Amino acid sequence: MGSVTVTYHAPPDDQPYVETRGVRFFDGQAVALDEEVHAELIGKARTNPHFEVNDATKAVLKAMAPDFGGVEPADSDMDALVKEAEALGIKVDGRWSKARLEGEISAAKIAKAG
């Protein structure tokens, strides 16, 4: 295996760095990560809209992907929630939990209906 570069893109009006799983990322600066050591972190970064992952090998992607019996889902629950939130005009922070995202969507729907 080799290395993968991961770049953090800070949301507007947020701090210019984030630290996760012992690695500090600065806005716009690529960090080289070992695919074996940081496989889980790389997998999380791939699903986070504030991170960009480059040069991941197919073996790592396959190891990180859940087994769907050979059928890939169209969108994960989180992806669908992000799309719904963005359609409601919510600026989604990639660090939000599913519960936080659902709460923001509910609040936006209530405000829109009210």
pLDDT mean over 97-102: 82
Whole-number pLDDT of residue 25: 93
**pLDDT band per the 50, 70, 90 thresholds, residue 57:** low
Whether the pLDDT of residue 69 is over 80: the answer is: no
**pLDDT band per the 50, 70, 90 thresholds, residue 94:** confident
Nearest to 83 by CA among 95, 66, 75: 75
Asked if residue 42 lies in contact with residue 53, where contact means CB atoms within 8 angstroms, the answer is yes
**pLDDT band per the 50, 70, 90 thresholds, residue 100:** confident
pTM confidence score: 0.48
Which residues are paired to 33 by β-bridges? 4
